[in-house]
Every structure is written in structure tokens, then in C-alpha cells.
Homo-oligomer: A and B are copies of this chain.
Amino acid sequence: MDELDRKISNLLAEDARRSLSDIGAAVGLSASAVNERIRRLAASGAIRKFTVDADPAAFGKPILAFVWIALAAEADEAGFRAFARSQATIAECHHVTGPWSYIVKVHVGSLPELEAFLSELKAARFIARSETVIALSSVVDGPFDPTEPRHV
């Protein structure tokens, strides 16, 4: 992971379909040298995968919200995590410091859909308390992955 690897990664992040020769010309390496470095970056896990950055609105999920969750005392944490991974609407879920247990980032199509999601959380008896914050606009937008039923 030297300066060249970082440059190559940046170029790939901008456009992963660049040709190896283009990248090589940009960083001062031959195409096969670049190929070998990319192979190593992928093998080491520094590059997790080649993917596409999509527009949530185009996939019917124009609304972005953050939900703070305090787990119920009786909720089993593993069950909640499995639930979070199975939910298509959950783009991110992090265990965090502070008064709340988890922060969850969700993409939904409408406010009723958001309400349904919250109801489901409550019905599953995972949460003791929650607080929802809706994004009005995004100054810096993160990448969006349209295929969300990750793991299983």
C-alpha cells in the first residue's frame, strides 16, 4: 500500500472501467504492472469489490433517514443484527457509543414506508426507544448500493 497503490485506487474509484493502460499512463507504470497491483489490492482486501454507485431515487428510494435505536432490555442482540442484515432498506447499521445502542441508515421510498419500517422494528420487540432523523438534502453523498439484501 504505497503511493502508487493509492493513486491507482483513486483512479479506480473515479471510474472502475478505465483501461489498465490508461491507469498505467497516469501513474507511470506499464499496464501489466498496474494489473498486478490491482490484483494484489483485491486479494488483500484493500479493494473489497468492484461495484456501481447508483442513484437511490432511480431505484425508488428517494428518502434517506437515520434512526437511533436503544435496544430493549429483553432483546437478543444477535437477533437484532441478523434482522438488520436481512432488511433491504438498511444501508448501514453501526453499534455506537453514547446513549443509543445503534445508528441505522435507511433508504425508503416514502414516509409511509418509513413508518412501516419503524413499526416492524417495534413489533419485533427489538427496540425500547428510537429517534428518527430525516435528511432534507445531501451536501456530500455517500455511494449507494442498490442490491441490499447483503449476507443472507
A residues sitting closer than 8 Å to B (CB atoms) are: 1, 6, 9-10, 12-17, 44-55, 58-59, 64, 66, 81, 84-85, 90-98, 100, 102-103, 105, 131, 133-147, 150
Contact = CB atoms under 8 A, between A and B. Distances in A.
Contacts of A46: 54-55, 58-59
Contacts of A93: 138-140
Nearest to A87: B140
Contacts of A14: 49, 51, 147
B140 A97 contact: no
A97 B134 contact: yes
Given A52-B16, A133-B98, A147-B14, A59 B9 contact: yes
Contact of A138 (B48, B92, B144): B92
A60 B85 CA distance: 26
12 contacts: A10-B147, A13-B51, A13-B146, A50-B53, A51-B52, A66-B94, A66-B103, A92-B140, A92-B141, A94-B137, A102-B139, A143-B143
